[in-house]
Amino acid sequence: GATDVETLQAGNWITTTVEIVDDHTVRLITEEPFAGLFSRLRSTIIVSADDLADNAEAIKSQPNGTGPFRLVENDPTRKVMEANPDYWQGAPQIQTLTWEFIQDADTRLSALLAGQADVIDRVPPQHLDIIGADSNFVLSSTTGIESVNLWAAPGRLPIWDESPEFREAVMRSIDREALVTGLVQGASAVATSFLPTNTLYHTNGEPAYTRDVEAAQALLAEASAADGGPEFELWVASGFLPRSEEVGAAIVANMEEVGLHPQLVVTDVAAMIDDIFSETGTGALYHLSWSSDGDPFNHAFVYSETFAWYFGDERLQELIELSATTLDPTEREQAVADLQAHMWEQLWQVPLYNSDFTMAHSAAIQGLDVRPNFMTQFYTVSISE
């Protein structure tokens, strides 16, 4: 491997040996079959060993790539790129591409409307109607390969760990359709699996777990929690996911209607991460997301024993591993279907929705390719007069 340092992303790979065949060819040998290899390679940075030999840190400030644009200015909040005339598919039509980091969404909107920006990304739901009503601009949207869940921390709420009925009661208490249509909006979609809709071999789970107050209350009774069970904390991170505070408040209201006793905790991402991994953490459910590149294993492994969300479900671990090591497409499709069915039945976490990914741009911009893996292709862009 390239490093002996253990990293989180190592869990998304199978141990691989690289052999140099000639100046333009390498051979990759995995310890066991790895169906997601090509998907992983697509998002893996590959650099020259010579570039790293003298100063491995230099790659951070002097990147060396083969893409359609060359980095010519590299300020912390501003990146200027120029067309690469030697790009293997031919030079892009845009000569200069400038990226500026503007954290505040209202400021990004103002820059677009004033003509100071040609494109803005991650348009929040409150700006969709404003931009959509102006014929000078275009909204380009897709449903992201991102699962927004209520992530349950093992050991924090014993009834969650022990009672499938309690977990299903929580699931049936939430009006997920209302979250999507009323709050998150755009191209977001109700989760129908623990794998996002645009994931390879995605299948819809059955039952649909639509909101059903009576069914939720009956399930609580089966879980010996007719009184709603114990109080628990539901954490949301302000400013992280679109309308996170409003989403959290709506979920809490839904839960309270069926008799559950959630306490909403509004914080920031750093404090949430600290609470998740702290031995003295108090949160039970966390409103967070996980995105991937469309390969089922690359998304499912967040639920594996590698991560903090694993409840010791050995069958789940086995199915996740099968999704990685099964090479025959038909057999792999069945393995991934079995994985999704098992996760949908167990409900160790609460799948809410798949994220919206919307870019807004001037109507003069043609060919912008907005992709569900949250990448945007500018190589295909042209600008009309």
Residue 7 in this model has a pLDDT that exceeds 80:
no
Lowest mean pLDDT of 59-73, 116-130, 262-276, name the range: 59-73
pLDDT in tens, 15-57: 889 899 998 899 999 999 999 998 888 877 777 778 778 777 8
pLDDT in tens, 135-193: 999 999 999 999 999 999 999 999 999 999 999 999 999 999 999 999 999 999 999 99
**Tokens found for residue 234:** 């539901």
Task: Quote the CA–CA distance of 235 and 286 in Å, as a whole number.
Answer: 5
CB 374 within 8 A of CB 291: yes
CA distance 289 to 299: 11
- The pLDDT tens digits for 307-358 are 999 999 999 999 999 999 999 999 999 999 999 999 999 999 999 999 999 9
User: For residue range 67-85, what is the model confidence (pLDDT) as tens digits?
Assistant: 999 999 999 999 999 999 9
Helix, strand, or coil (residue 355)? strand
pLDDT by residue (tens digit) across 88-115? Answer: 999 999 999 999 999 899 999 999 999 9
Q: In this model, does residue 120 exceed pLDDT 80?
A: yes
User: Which pLDDT score is estimated for 10?
Assistant: 62
Name the packing angle between helices 125-132 and 105-113 (round to 10°). Answer: 10
pLDDT at position 1 over 50:
no
Q: What is the DSSP letter of 305?
A: T
Inform me whether the pLDDT recorded for 13 exceeds 80. Answer: no
Return d(Cα 138, Cα 135) in angstroms, integer: 7
Q: Residue 104 has what DSSP assignment?
A: -
Nearest to 248 by CA among 125, 356, 147, 149: 149
pLDDT tens-digit readout, 192-222: 999 999 999 999 999 999 999 999 999 999 9
Domain with CATH 3.10.105.10 in the chain: 145-355
What pLDDT, on a 0 to 100 scale, did the predictor assign at position 64?
79
Q: How far apart are CA 174 and CA 16, in angstroms?
A: 43
Convert the pLDDT of each residue in 238-281 to its tens digit. Answer: 989 999 999 999 999 999 999 999 999 999 999 999 999 999 99
Task: Give yes or no for a contact between 121 and 378, defined as CB atoms under 8 angstroms apart.
Answer: no
Q: Which residues contact 244 (CB under 8 A, 6 or more apart)?
A: 236, 237, 238, 287
Q: What pLDDT is stored for residue 42 in this prediction? A: 82
Q: Which CATH number among 3.40.50.720, 3.10.105.10, 2.40.37.10, 3.40.50.2300 corresponds to the domain 145-355?
A: 3.10.105.10
In CATH terms, the superfamily for domain 69-143+357-383 is Periplasmic binding protein-like II (3.40.190.10)
pLDDT of res. 9? 60
Q: Could you give the C-alpha distances from 131 to 144, 168, 269, 299, 333, in angstroms and in order? A: 20, 39, 29, 32, 40
Whole-number Å distance between alpha carbons of 263 and 252? 7
Report the C-alpha dihedral over residues 181, 183, 188, 189, rounded to 10 degrees: -50
Range(s) of the chain covered by CATH 3.40.190.10 = 69-143+357-383
